[in-house]
Amino acid sequence: MLQSLQVLDQLKARLRETLALLPLAEGRGPVSLILGLPHPPSGAPDLDGPRFYFAHSHRGDLRAGYGIAGEWQAQGPERLSKLRHVALGLSDAWVHCDPDETGFSGFAMLGFAATPETQTRNADLPNALLWLPELALIVRGGQSALVLTTLCPAPGDDLRARWESWLDRLVPLLGRPALDPLTPAHLDALGSTPDRDDWRTLVLNALDEIQRKRLEKVVVCRRQRLQGHRRFDLDRLNAALSYLFPSCQVINIRRHAASLVAATPERLFTQRRDQVEADAIAGTARRAEDTERDAEIALAFQSCEKNRREHRVVVEAVREALDQCCRHLDAPEGPSILRLNNAQHLWTRLHGELKPGVDAFELAERLHPTPATNGQPRRAAHDWLDVNEPLERGWYTGAAGLIEPDLTGELWVLLRCALILDRRADLYAGAGIVAGSDPDDEWQETEQKMAAMSMALQFA
Ligand SMILES: C=C(O[C@@H]1C=C(C(=O)O)C=C[C@H]1O)C(=O)O
């Protein structure tokens, strides 16, 4: 605690020294002040108010944003190009002051719903959102920093008080030891939409459509409502998800009351300068406790024609989308296996060299939605789901990630996720239907996928 208070004093002194150097009156875009932290914190503590959180345990990186320096919303077919236009304006004018020479910069969160038309029922998350946080925390490569951001012009005295109050709220919590999980608690299942009978009908209808050759693949999903016996603790939930799924991206986004939480294995893409990587993940099998049995399942699963077909459709669609904006594209011959605690998937990583001028918004537009979460052909699958799927997906199977000032970035597909409010969690999962799919097996697959979140919720 004493150490945290010393850090707080040092950061405030740094803030006062540098504030006068910032072009607050004449600036016309974001101004970010970056303050190096002496020790990486064990996590990004939750604070009241809007917050987003992205953590990847295996990579050892964590980025969180608190408060809103600026936010822009969009909806409809032009949603990403509208937000791109805003981001271009920010990018041109963004000023960084990095007195500690951390090398870090500010960033924005981009997130959007499964489809451009989705009317998100509660006002918690709009259809598509670009969010510039007032305070950000970055931990990467053993280094860490805070980034304070404002949109200019901004009056210096007010800003000093605002930024100091952010430091007062966050910094004392950064020295807190990692949270232990709570004693696991029982969760009550309050019902599924669709229920098991309606699921069967939905899958059989999809199979009929596939047999008539109107669709090759379609991904149907369901929502399971769970109720806990205590209010879910989001910091503990993040920690449990990172522990259980260290190779997944743990995401937690809250603008108002409800939090959207995910532990997703699937990147829509990562763009670093002119390099892009994308994951095609489709085809799912269970895990077994016994190692030999687990290896047998993997072998059978990898050689199963139905799974390979389901996977190939996604690889081809991702390849086609990237082909249009890459000068060079590599994809391995056949899929490998991605093993998670609760499931294993067929997985192909594609890597490309981008043509000049391609940014994260264009990549999102071209890649989303892949047939891993929607279907093939894209339009026909979308239209069929629009009529037949009996629930609102919201941001589930949409994407979210972080955008850098140069408009590169990384987006994750919002899977293995839940919308959480107090003691209630709505979990979402889906399964790809192709010729040969069985409704009961696909139900089982969604149960397995939901187990990722329900397991972690028991400890939160
Ligand atoms: C739709 C989901 O997952 C997607 C569908 C998969 C499948 O059908 O095998 C596998 C991974 C994801 O691309 C989900 O987790 O809800």
Interface predicted TM-score (ipTM): 0.98
Q: What is the chain's mean pLDDT, rounded?
A: 94
**Rounded Cα–Cα distance for residues 32 and 50 (Å):** 19
The residue length of the chain stands at 460
| pLDDT confidence of residue 2 | 56
| pLDDT confidence of residue 121 | 61
Type of residue numbered 66: Y
How many Å lie between the centroid of ligand 1 and the Cα of residue 93? 39
Beta bridge partners of 55: 62, 250
Supply 226's token pair. 């769970």
- Report the pocket of ligand 1 as residue ranges, CB < 6 Å: 219, 221, 266, 281-284, 345, 372-373, 415-416, 429-432, 449
Report helix angle 439-458 to 196-211, nearest 10. 130
Closest ligand 1 atom, CA of 284? 9
The protein residue whose alpha carbon is closest to atom 6 in ligand 1 is 282
Answer yes or no: are the C-beta atoms of 90 and 37 closer than 8 Å: no
Angle at 86 between CA 81 and CA 87, to 5 degrees: 90
The protein residue whose alpha carbon is closest to atom 2 in ligand 1 is 430
User: What's phi and psi for 296, nearest 5 deg?
Assistant: -65, -45
**Rounded Cα–Cα distance for residues 211 and 251 (Å):** 38
What is the pLDDT confidence band of residue 279, given thresholds at 50, 70 and 90? Answer: very high
**Tell me: the pLDDT tens digits for 236-275?**
999 999 999 999 999 999 999 999 999 999 999 999 999 9
What is the pLDDT confidence band of residue 120, given thresholds at 50, 70 and 90? Answer: low
Q: Which residue intervals of the chain bear CATH 3.60.120.10? A: 190-231+275-399+422-458
Predicted confidence (pLDDT) at residue 180 exceeds the cutoff of 90: no
Predicted confidence (pLDDT) at residue 1 exceeds the cutoff of 60: no
More confidently predicted of 180 and 412: 412
Sign of torsion over alpha carbons 125, 130, 134, 140: positive
Q: What's the pTM value of the predicted model, to 2 decimals?
A: 0.96
Reduce the DSSP state of residue 163 to 3 states and report it.
Answer: helix
How many Å lie between the centroid of ligand 1 and the Cα of residue 271? 23
- Weakest mean pLDDT among 92-96, 121-125, 293-297, 342-346: 121-125
How many Å lie between the centroid of ligand 1 and the Cα of residue 281? 7
**Rounded Cα–Cα distance for residues 413 and 60 (Å):** 20
How many Å lie between the centroid of ligand 1 and the Cα of residue 342? 13
What is the pLDDT confidence band of residue 183, given thresholds at 50, 70 and 90? Answer: confident
Answer yes or no: are the C-beta atoms of 383 and 369 closer than 8 Å: no
- The average pLDDT across 301-322 equals 93
Predicted confidence (pLDDT) at residue 182 exceeds the cutoff of 80: no
Predicted confidence (pLDDT) at residue 119 exceeds the cutoff of 90: no
Architecture of domain 190-231+275-399+422-458: 4-Layer Sandwich (3.60)
How many Å lie between the centroid of ligand 1 and the Cα of residue 373? 6
What is the best residue among 202, 216, 219, 348 to mutate for testing ligand 1's pocket, by most ligand atoms within 8 Å of CB?
Answer: 219
Closest ligand 1 atom, CA of 264? 15
- Weakest mean pLDDT among 124-133, 150-159, 345-354: 150-159
